[in-house]
Every structure is written in structure tokens, then in C-alpha cells.
Amino acid sequence: MSQEGTISETIQKESVCKGCSGKLQFAPGTNHLKCPYCGMENEIEVSKEVFEELDFEKFVKDFEEKETSVEVATIKCQGCGAQTTFNPNVVSDTCPCCGSPLVVKDATTSHSIKPKAILPFSVDQNKAFKEFGEWIKKLWFAPNKLKRFARQESKLTGLYIPYWTYDSDTATDYTGERGDDYQTTESYTTTENGKLVTKTRTVTKTRWSSASGHVDKVFDDVLVVASKSLPKEYVEKLEPWDLQNLMPFNSSYLSGFKAESYQVDLREGLDDAKIKMNQGIHEAICRDIGGDHQRVHTTNTTWKGITFKHLLMPVWISAYSFNNKTYRFLINGRTGEVQGERPYSWVKITFAVLAAAAVIAIIAILASTQGAN
């Protein structure tokens, strides 16, 4: 089941300013499009559609239906594999994930699942740029080149990242062991004043007994990052997302921004979600076993009523190249949380080590001189 694609200009409707014919852009933190040239604003009509969860099994069978999928243009980066959109009428650009050059003639079309909901940007570029600069200042031994790079506001790109969320009712039978601590007194010998003496001490031991049972657990909105082009550990550190403020998908929110397609397909995303759910099931089993310690030997889980949503989340991103390696910096477009990879200046580290060694040597010389006096 091929599901690659991106939210492209085929569904990203172009909104033209009635005042000067400029292209309107979504204004973060508002619910309107704004002309960057004359300031005219257009309110975005909010859909009253309820974005219900989609039945996983049914959707897989009905994926080819037009109402659940869309043909879109894909521009794939040869550097990192990211698939992102171009702004209308742009014929070349750079990849927001790694900075590699992109050209629109390389675009292809493919079948893609429509987003169901979106979290619009609420942090604008100015605030994101300020948060980024503060984060850079706190980095020890950062190259001067990085700090100069951080002063260029144009290096920040607004990008919508694809996500899946999954819901499921689970029923799990398990076997394991329960460990209950108890205290006992034991004797031991030790040497005191050159003689062997016998003493006693209280020690804690664990009594293990077999355990088995059944736990039911309901999971709601288990988030799975559907991008493979960004460092997953840093993307996940941008959480939590305020999912209670999700809006029905409207392409107007994409105006002035880019959107990445999902590279983790629907089935692969469910596998990742089950890994997260299994952690929750394990914790539920441990609580059910009780005692002071638990060992889980076997589990048999039934997954019922699996549903999902396809979401887009807002991230400000900057890609920086240093010593032939690409570093990515990510900013949560809702909260301003900054995460990212960072390079080190080994020149600065070497000077710091030498300076520390010099200080230690001076202290040692002064100490020996005072001792001699």
C-alpha cells in the first residue's frame, strides 16, 4: 500500500490579497491570513466538521476511495530524503530539514492520505528567532560560525511535521512473579582491634511467588512522528502538543509555510504506536501484580477498535552544516520549546583545557613556593 506524498500546491489554495494582489500568508497566533505587503487581513473560515477517529482496518481496505486520499506533488530531497512542498510559483528552494538545494522539476505525484486535523502556528518567526538565539547562547564551546548563523532570521523555516495518532482498547493476559520484601537478621564476622568478632545485622530479602492475571487498558491519541528526515529523539522532545486545540484541516493554515509528507506509513506507524502502548500495558501489569517487585514473563494482548488520525504539527526548523555534517534545530511552533543537535568547537575546547592546565600549574608553583618559605 503506497502512501507517500505531501500536502502540495494541489490542495494548498493560493489566497490573493484584494488590495495589492500579493499572496496572503497565515499569521501565527491568529485565525486569519495577512498580506505581508499592505497588511490586509482575511479571516479563515473554521470548519464545523468533527474530526472523528478513522477505523484502521476499514480504512486500509478503502484507501483507494477518493474521499480518504488525494493525488499530490512530491519533491524529495536527495540529501536527507525529506519530502516537502514548494510555495506557489517557486522553481527552486532549499530543503528545510538539511539545507540541500531542491528544484521543482524533480517533483513527482503519488497517492497520499489526507490530513484530518492541524495545529496552526501560534509562535511567529520573530519569537521563534528570539528563543533560538537564547538557546544558542547557552551552548558551551559552540563554534563562532554557529553563533553568526543564529543571527540570520531568514535561516528559520516554518514547517508542518506529519504525525499519526492511534487509539485502541487492549485486553492482556499475563504470567509473571510477585516479589515481597521482608527483613531478617543474619550473623557475620568482622575484625575489630585485631580480633575477630561476631555481630548481627538486619537485611532485606525478597520472597518471590507466581502471578498471573488479566488487565484492560484504553489508549487515546498515542502520538507517532511520521517523519524520517528529522532526528526522532529531538522531535519527540518537543512534546507535549496541545491536542485539545486541534483544528479541522484547512489548507489556508499552510499559506506561507511548508509541509513535510509522511514517510512512516499507516501500518508502520501502528507498529510504533504499539511499542508505546506496550510500555503502558507493562506498567498496568506491574500494578496488577502488586508487591515490592515484579517480573513479567509472558503477555498475550488483543487489540480492539483501533482508530487513527493524520495530523500536521507546526515546527520552526533550521539546518546548519559544520565540518561536513548537518545539524538540525527544532522549535515547537506552539510553545517555543527548542531542541536540536549541536556541534562543538574543538579549538575552544583545546584552549579551555590548556587554560585549565595552566591555572593548575600556577597554583602548584605558588603552593610549592610558599611551602619552601
**For the chain, percent of residues with pLDDT exceeding 90:** 32
Q: Tell me: do 336 and 367 sit in the same domain.
A: no
**Strand bridging mode 101-103 / 247-248:** unpaired
Q: pLDDT for 144-153, tens place per residue?
A: 555 555 454 4
Cell of 289: 501484580
Q: What is the pLDDT of residue 8?
A: 40
- Whether residue 10 is contained in a domain is answered as no
- Whether residue 192 is contained in a domain is answered as no
- Whether residue 163 is contained in a domain is answered as yes
- Beta carbons of 95 and 80 less than 8 angstroms apart: yes
Q: Tell me: do 253 and 349 sit in the same domain.
A: no
- Whether residue 191 is contained in a domain is answered as no
Single pTM value for the model: 0.72
| Cis ω for the linkage preceding 240 (within 30 of 0) | yes
- The whole domain housing 364 covers 344-373
Q: What is the pLDDT of residue 9?
A: 38
- Measured CA to CA, the distance from residue 326 to residue 331 in angstroms comes to 17
Query: Look-up: residue for cell 489566497?
Result: 15
- Whether residue 56 is contained in a domain is answered as yes
Query: With left for phi above 0 and alpha for psi between -120 and 50, is residue 183 left, alpha or beta?
Result: beta
Most confident range (mean pLDDT) of 44-58, 150-164, 183-197, 295-309 is 295-309
Q: Tell me: do 331 and 355 sit in the same domain.
A: no
Q: pLDDT for 69-102, tens place per residue?
A: 555 555 666 666 666 665 544 434 666 666 666 6
Q: Tell me: do 308 and 220 sit in the same domain.
A: yes
Give the mean pLDDT of 198-226. Answer: 95
Q: Tell me: do 334 and 359 sit in the same domain.
A: no
Q: What is the pLDDT of residue 59?
A: 84
Q: Tell me: do 298 and 373 sit in the same domain.
A: no
Tell me the residue ranges of DSSP E strands in 39-107: 41-43, 54-55, 69-76, 83-84, 92-94, 101-103
Q: Tell me: do 295 and 350 sit in the same domain.
A: no
- Measured CA to CA, the distance from residue 51 to residue 306 in angstroms comes to 16
Q: pLDDT for 292-305, tens place per residue?
A: 999 999 999 999 99
Q: What is the pLDDT of residue 68?
A: 52
Q: pLDDT for 152-182, tens place per residue?
A: 445 678 889 999 999 999 999 999 999 999 9
Q: Tell me: do 120 and 258 sit in the same domain.
A: yes
Would you say residue 320 has pLDDT above 70?
no
Q: What is the pLDDT of residue 271?
A: 95
Per the structure, the count of domains in the chain is 2
Would you say residue 348 has pLDDT above 60?
no
Would you say residue 322 has pLDDT above 70?
no
Q: Tell me: do 109 and 94 sit in the same domain.
A: yes
Q: What is the pLDDT of residue 284?
A: 97
